[in-house]
A and B are shown apart, each in its own frame.
Chain A
Amino acid sequence: MPDILILDQISKQFDQSKVINQLSFSVKGGEIFGLLGPNGAGKTTLVNIMTGLLNADQGTVTLFEKHAPGDNFARANIGLASQSLALYEDLTAAENLRFFGKMHALEKTALKTAVSQTLAVVGLEDRANQRVKEFSGGMKRRLNLAVAILHKPKLLILDEPTVGVDPQSRNAIMESIQTLSDQGHSIIYTTHYMEEVEKLCDRVAIIDKGQLVALDSVNGLLQTHGKNHRIRYSQNNKVITVDSDNPLQKIRELLNSEQQARISNLSVQSPTLEQVFLNLTGRELRD
């Protein structure tokens, strides 16, 4: 599959602060591409540049092989589910979908079909005529996703689509995303939930302070950056945790030591994406 999005040496500055700094990567057609980064890393700015809402100060963005963000083809083929619930609360679910469908130039029959199909995808077909302000948070999130996929975009950009929803709604949203991927949509997925990335994404980019710090598949990231296994055991009624890049050697040492008889509940945890993320971006708080 050819690259559906290519970012080349993108930089963006607000006032004196460089939010994106010489950032480059590409997204392949049909893949789910995870975009991770701590707060303030530049994810939303990057999303805005990809969608044409913002212009980059430097660098180029190429969409669908030859298009620029903001041109008609690009706009017609991008779906955006932003972090905020971009919905009209006083309209019903169907009215919201119909309105945004018209904005994507869907005509009567196609629009009607798209609305009913999309509502079915996100499990809201029974709530089509209910006003959004009466929806739960999870239902609103699902509708937010529905609006983004209504016009069957080639590239779907999901900016934290599961934030603040219950496990059932999150599961439903993730299933919908997987279905869309199976149908051939390319998806850029930003989130702070590492397990979602591990479960969904084919490749993951981690950015920090506007720069790309890692880009690989989840396994690749774990192998490259997840050096330490976590060994946990109880000794004298205390729980002890030790990180080691050679867990077998460490366990041998423990079992051969004089304290061996007092060790119990020994477990070894493989490196996680969260550990990788923290290794790469540090542990200091970000605001």
Chain B
Amino acid sequence: MTKKLLAVTQKDLKLLYRDKGGFFFTFIFPIIMAVFFGSMMSGSGGIKGISLQVVDADQSVISKAFVDKLDAAAELKVVLSDEATARETVRKGKAAAYLILPKGFGEAKGNLFSGKTATVQLGVDPKRSAIKGLLQGVLMSYAAEDMQSAFTDTSKMSTQINKSLAEVRQARDSGELGDNDKTDRLLDFLDNLQEMVDTDSFNNTSDGNSTVGNTADDNTSEESQFNGFQPLIIETQAITVNRDGPPSGYDVSFPQGILWGILGCLSAFSLSLVSERNQGTLSRLLVSSANRSTILAGKALACFLTIIFIAVSLLLLGKLVFGIQIKQPDLMVLSLVAIGFCFSGLMILFSVISKSEKAASGITWAAMMLMAMAGGGMIPLAFMPAWMTPVSQFSPVKWSILALEGPMWRQFSLIEMLPVVAVLFGIGMVSFLLGVRLFKWQSSST
């Protein structure tokens, strides 16, 4: 039986390599995709509902108000979390980014003209680096909104000016500020501004809640540098590997390229069984000593080997030419076996479902497109509507990309990899068994 199985495998591999169209879509097209999208990875697009893990370590009124503002933003889908969970969630690719509002954020956020500027820490999934700039812009715009509202609230404004005057004077007197001219000009500006706020010329005068002049005992001398009206400082943090920094776009595009190669392979092998049925070779095989399971297993093995070959070739090309990272080769082997098994099983199911070559081509490509779209094989999931996230759980492409990225740069542990490969093995096994059962039923009833 093994010899017959291997004979089917060898024959199918020969046929694939001699079919120019099949060869192109299986081997050449994925390389083009990987290189092209790798070089384009810095591009951006309209974003809705970026999943953002927010850690409010400050728990102040101001920090809570800022979180509420982010939560209400259409561009963001905020989930409150603790720091460890937030980092893990992003590292595993389950959220696009995390944002940490550190202790003191609220107090610093109140500083307008002096003192330490509010700082946040932003970590973005390297695979979605295109959204980093956009997230920074969104955060800055909301922080600037707060600043703008402070300028229009005279009581807040007056308090801030007094606070800043005290801080700057203290810093000047202690010699912390070297450029006296600049300091004097800043003090003049703050004095004039205070006068403006205290007169009717500045709209909405104090309503009695003002805390004007109450800044003497503010102990902020160590933070007295003039902050230049910057609403927020965003410190970006590298995800996954603290030592090596974020991976390149090729680290993202090559897994996608591998998946495209696998999908091409799936299409070619799905068609092969239908072609055999139509041209009569399947009948000839069924009359021979080979049984149905052997024939299907031989085809699945050919598909599996081709998938492994595609993946290894692209990973080698990516590593040698484009410098992609493969940090855990042992786990990568596990991933490749799981991916190969998954798509070989799917190939059998697709090939058995289809009655004609046209139907096989249509069904396979439609399924491939759906899987690729839903699984982030075409457009990263971060750029898709929020409802796509649960849908993507059903796409083997999503799990395959995760299985590739885990050992490449997400630095998944074996425990973290196991659920991913289990899903892939499960899909492959169910599909193969369904395919064999359907094939036997079809063969005996038609």
Contacts and interface: CB of A to CB of B under 8 A. Distances in A.
Interface residues of B, number: 24
Contact of B280 (A72, A82, A103): A82
Nearest to B446: A54
B290 interface: yes
**Contact-size category for A:** 20 to 34
Interface in A180-200: none
B441 to A, nearest CB: 12
B289 A80 contact: no
Interface string A47-91: 010011111000000000000000010011010101111111011
A53 B289 contact: no
A147 B3 contact: no
B7 A51 contact: no
Contacts of A8: none
A263 B435 CA distance: 73
A103 B294 CA distance: 10
B287 A75 contact: yes
B7 A104 contact: no
Contacts of A90: 14-15, 18-19
B283 A53 contact: yes
A18 interface: no
A155 to B, nearest CB: 11
B15 A88 contact: yes
B14 A91 contact: yes
Nearest to B281: A86
Given A55-B444, A78-B287, A104-B288, A85 B280 contact: yes
B281 A88 contact: yes
Given A72-B289, A82-B283, A88-B281, A99 B444 contact: no
Contact of B284 (A48, A76, A80, A102): A80
B15 A80 contact: no
Interface in B238-259: none
Contacts of A104: 288-289
A103 B281 contact: no
Contacts of B8: 103
B286 interface: yes
A85 B289 contact: no
A95 interface: yes
A135 interface: no
A103 B289 CA distance: 6
Contacts of A239: none
A69 B38 CA distance: 57
B280 A91 contact: no
Find the residue from B3, B4, B289 having the highest chain A CB count within 10 A.
Answer: B289
A99 B7 contact: yes
Interface in B392-446: 443-444, 446
B15 A53 contact: no
A86 B280 CA distance: 5
Given A53-B287, A99-B7, A84 B280 contact: yes
A103 B281 CA distance: 12
Interface in A92-150: 95, 99-100, 102-105, 147
B285 interface: yes
Contacts of A87: 279, 281
Contacts of A51: 283, 287
Interface in B4-51: 4, 7-8, 10-11, 14-15, 18-19
B443 A53 contact: yes
Nearest to B290: A103
12 contacts: A75-B288, A82-B280, A82-B283, A86-B279, A91-B11, A95-B14, A99-B10, A99-B11, A102-B3, A103-B288, A104-B289, A105-B289
Interface of B: 3-4, 7-8, 10-11, 14-15, 18-19, 279-281, 283-290, 443-444, 446
Given A55-B444, A85-B279, A103-B289, 20 more contacts: A51-B283, A52-B287, A53-B287, A75-B289, A76-B289, A84-B280, A85-B280, A86-B279, A86-B284, A88-B11, A90-B15, A90-B19, A91-B14, A103-B4, A103-B285, A103-B288, A103-B290, A104-B289, A105-B3, A105-B4
